[in-house]
Each structure stands twice: as C-alpha cells, then as structure tokens.
Amino acid sequence: MEYFFYNVLDSTMTEADRLLSMGHTSFCVIADTQTAGRGKPGRSWHDEKGGSLLISIAVPLERRPEEYSFAAGLAVINMLKKNCGLECSLKWVNDVYCRNRKLCGILCEQKLKDGKAYMIAGIGINVLEKAFPEGLDATSVVIENPSAAPAPRSLAEPLAEEFLAACRLPFGEILAVWDDKLYMKGRQAAIKSGNTLYSGVVDGIDAGGRLLLRGGKETFALSSGTFI
C-alpha cells in the first residue's frame, strides 16, 4: 500500500482517480484540506485545514461494489475504537455517528482503468474540529473524547489497515456488525428512497445490506435512501 500526502488538494477522490490513470493500483491519498471535497451526490464536504482525516483508499475491485461502503464503515468504527477510544454507530449506508451527531462520511466510487476495475473509498473523519458551520449537526474526535487529540495524518495507516482487513471478511460478518451498531435501530424514522417517503421503525439490515423499516404490518427492505 502506497501513501501520498498533500497539504492541499481539490479532492482526494479526484487525485486517486488521477493516480489510477498513472498506473498506481493500491494506495491512499491523504490531504490536510480540500478545495472541492465531495460528499453525497450534490453536496460538498466541509473541513477545517488540518482538522480532519481526509483520505481516499484505492484498491482493485475484488468483491461486489456495493459491499465496499459497508466495509469502510466497519473499518472506521474499528479504528476509532482502537485509536481514539470512541464507540460509534453506523448510519446506513455511508455515515458514522457518535452520540447522534455525524463524525464521518464515506463515499465509494468504482473506476475502470485499462480494462481493470478499482474501488476508491473516500473517507472524511472530523478529528480536531471544535466548531462547525451553523446548520451542520456534526461532531469530532476531540469533542467526544477531549483526551484524544491525534494528528489526523497519524490515523491514515491504521484506517487503511482496518479497511484492508474488512475487505477480506465475508459480507455476512460485516453486516452482522452493521446490524449490531446500526444508528436509529429500534427508533422511528422517515426515509426517502427515490420519489417515495417511507416511515416506520428501523428494524435492522438484511443479508443483502438493505435497510429494514417496519411500518405497521409491513416491513420495507430499502436498497437506497436518505434519512429525513
């Protein structure tokens, strides 16, 4: 695994794509800040210079593409527990929460280079930030555990190692942890999937990674969606 560190980048995801085009195949891109960081489709990623771990991990595609977001989430909570003393929950399908506030976002993209498929897992973890823009309900490692103040770059290698380990696990084992650590499990939620709004109690994750939402006598198995 190669590591590329930058002070400033437009986006670690974009740089990872460039490096794949140059022939690199398994590597991490880490930046202290981004000028065009990307979150969920249509959203930007906020960061305070030097306050976040901003990393994209590129690996050859060796399992179903949709499994990598789940593996990345597992890697993040394992790393945060071991290195920062934090117990976190997993918000389906690409966020990590701590005490009901967002600590980390995940964005996975598949790329095809010279006939070979790769996955880029973009991960942003709030580490040293102590304040966030108005309307952004987020938290950070140092807010949740003031005694933990790691340099964001120091978390890159432990996270990459956890991600590679998670990618070797059977999908069922990954989903078992997701089901156990699932954010909002047992609580009422509203989720928009496509043009439909579903409401009900979050029941868990099924064997395909779908979110189970129990509304009255019917249980919905959602393949994608956003909490409202």
Q: What is the DSSP string of 25-94?
A: -SEEEEEEEESS-B-STT-B----TTTEEEEEEEEE--S-TTHHHHHHHHHHHHHHHHHH----EEETTT
pLDDT at 163: 98
Cα(12)–Cα(18) distance, rounded to whole angstroms? 10
Q: Is 154 exposed, middle or buried (0-12, 13-18, 19+ CB in 10 A)?
A: exposed
2-180 and 188-227 in the same fold:
no
- Predicted pLDDT at 216: 85
114 contacts: CB under 8 Å, gap ≥ 6: none
Q: Are strands 2-9 and 27-34 parallel, antiparallel or unpaired?
A: parallel
User: Residue 29: which pLDDT band, with cuts at 50, 70 and 90?
Assistant: very high
Tell me which DSSP letter residue 169 carries: S
Q: In what order do the strands lie in the sheet with 218-222?
A: 218-222, 211-215, 196-205, 188-193, 226-227
Buried b (16+ CB within 10 A) or exposed e, 163-172: beebbebebe
- Other C-beta atoms closer than 10 Å to the C-beta of 123 total 28
Confidence band for 37, pLDDT divided at 50, 70 and 90: confident
- Say what the pLDDT of residue 39 is: 67
Enter the tokens of residue 63.
Answer: 């399992």
Asked if pLDDT for residue 213 goes beyond 60, the answer is: yes
Rounded to an integer, what distance in angstroms lies between the CA atom of residue 197 and that of residue 117? 34
Q: What is the DSSP letter of 10?
A: S
- What CA–CA distance (Å, rounded) separates 151 from 156? 10
Mean of pLDDT values over 47-72: 95
- Per-residue pLDDT tens over the stretch 85-110: 999 999 999 999 999 999 999 999 99
- CATH tag for 2-180 (out of 3.30.200.20, 1.10.238.10, 3.30.930.10, 3.40.50.2020): 3.30.930.10
- pLDDT higher than 80, residue 43: no
Among 93, 67, 79, residue whose Cα is nearest residue 173 = 67
Is the pLDDT at 127 greater than 80? The verdict is: yes
Q: Which CATH class is domain 188-227?
A: mainly beta
Q: Give yes or no for residue 166 having a pLDDT over 90.
A: yes
How do the domains of the chain map onto residue ranges? 2-180, 188-227
Distance CA 219, CA 214 (A): 4
